A = this chain, B = another copy of it.
Amino acid sequence: MKNFVVHQLLEHALIAHPEQEIVSGNHRFTFREFHSRVLKLANSLKVHGVKKGTVVGVLDVNSHRFLEMHYALSMLGAVLHTINFRLAPEQMVYSMIHASDEWIFVSDVFAPAVKPVIPKFPKWVLMSDDTSQALPDAKQAFHYENLVNEGSENPISEAAEVKETDIFSIFYTTGTTGKPKGIPYEHKTILTGAIQLFHHLALHKYGARVSSRDVFMPLIPFFHIHAWGMAFFPIYLGAKLVLPEAADAAKQQAIIEKEKVSWLNMVPTQLQMLLEQKNFGHVKILTGGSPFASGIAKRAHDAGVNFSLIYGGSDQLATAISVVPENIEPDSAEALEWRRVGMRPLPLVEISIRDKQGNEVPHDGKTLGAVWVRSPWLPNGYFKEPEITKAHFIDGWFRTGDLGFFHPNHLLYVADREGDAIKSGGEWIPTGMLEAIISEHEAVAQVAVIPKKDEQWGQRPLAILKKRTDVSENALRDFLLSKVKEGKLAKFWIPDTFTFVDEIPLTSAGKLNKKVLRDQYSG
């Protein structure tokens, strides 16, 4: 065993932590029971022809069955396509065809949604407790639980043949422009990238520091980088894992209390919803995906939430986490602010911020540039997209498409997506950073800043807001002027227009959907 392969985690867990628990909805399994189900499933799939390289799509919320699929397919050397159920239906089907899925596993929650595409795929498996439900009307169709029950517990001989450089999984970006891009990951790459994130968290004293005494619950879905690595880490560590299935915020809070969950991951939108729940708090949370407003940071902190932010993505995996610099008093207001704006690259990761000429920008806390990343867990590129791959993966580096700057202490701040930043009179306005400042106003529930065409300046910022309480445009303008005086932004960043809406559209990753907003408002 000199290979870093996914099912190796389970072999170790079986020796070191056989009685540890996985909880999923009403189900509760020890690692030993879980291993037995995985082995039976793998044997059944083998009988039905799943083998090295077979691509299997799975469409489910975070459940024990989805988790089992990770390990059973790994043993067979098959490829797991974690289908992004938050994509638009035609994009979802596009990804299933593009990835060449031979089998589709679908949970009963999603079965109605995929009914129209049953004829496109020959082999279906219905994931449900209830094996009396009607199966998809396909060439072949099985009940998941029958596959598990019918499988033998023989060792899978193929498991020892799986190489760390074999492809383990493929998933698709939720790009707000164009069609989704697929990224295949090797066993070694996805494991090291995902698990290094948790090592890095464990090595920093303040924030969402993990330990073997934590109880983990991922609110990030498996289709997002295997729930940001949660499909692997608790099994690797021997810690209790709780899967929320399709719980809403109120139910999530009930599960947190019942199962003594101490560590969660989620996007800021989910955190905002949990902060509305009674008794929520005193947990550790990893979040990220967009600039994080100091208002949420403070509300979370006041609720006893120990948070860290992550910077990364589907096409680079984990790149950095926010930390309290070692020379800062951990309980200070400054420490809280650093945990929001100071990202430290993971060990082995190199980050380079470059100007238009390709030169490194100074680490001065303000000079924006394009963020480039080089790390041991970069993917080999986009699936069947040589041109797009060539444009993003250059000389071993990944051009992230983000804009950011380095603080003088070498911590990174990611200010915006290059495509979202506004060019006003030849100067960049980073909208992500601007949104974080606007949302510090207590009346602002959510805000998106997009460019509006302008004859004089080329582009000018337009703010689209969802209010928490009533507020006037002038009050917001005065608030931003006070922030200009504090040195938090330049005066020309203040939006020309404030538009109030009831709901701001979000992407499948829970981020502001600026494409939809631009189509509607940019003019």
Contacts and interface: CB of A to CB of B under 8 A. Distances in A.
Contact of A396 (B1, B17, B349): B1
A4 interface: yes
Interface range on chain A (Cβ under 8 Å from partner): 35 or more
B199 A205 contact: no
Contacts of A326: 212-213
Interface string A1-38: 11110001101100111100000000000000000000
6 contacts: A3-B376, A16-B345, A17-B410, A199-B199, A199-B202, A238-B347
B376 A1 contact: yes
B18 A347 contact: no
Interface of A: 1-4, 8-9, 11-12, 15-18, 198-199, 202-205, 210-213, 236-238, 323, 326, 344-345, 347-352, 374-376, 378, 396, 410
Contacts of A238: 344, 347
A347 B236 contact: yes
Nearest to A18: B410
Given A12-B345, A198-B203, 13 more contacts: A1-B374, A2-B376, A2-B378, A4-B376, A9-B347, A12-B349, A12-B350, A16-B344, A202-B202, A203-B212, A204-B211, A205-B211, A238-B344
A264 B202 CA distance: 19
Contacts of A352: 15
Given A213-B326, A345-B15, A1 B350 contact: yes
A205 B237 CA distance: 13
How often does this chain occur in the complex, in copies?
Answer: 2
A192 to B, nearest CB: 8
B375 A212 contact: no
A348 B410 contact: no
Contacts of A205: 211-213
A260 to B, nearest CB: 12
Contact of A410 (B16, B323, B410): B16
Q: Which of A8, A16, A211, A212 has the most CB of B within 10 A?
A: A16
Nearest to A4: B376
Nearest to A406: B15
A126 to B, nearest CB: 34
Contact of A15 (B8, B236, B350, B378): B350
A345 B17 CA distance: 10
B348 A4 contact: yes
A368 B237 CA distance: 26
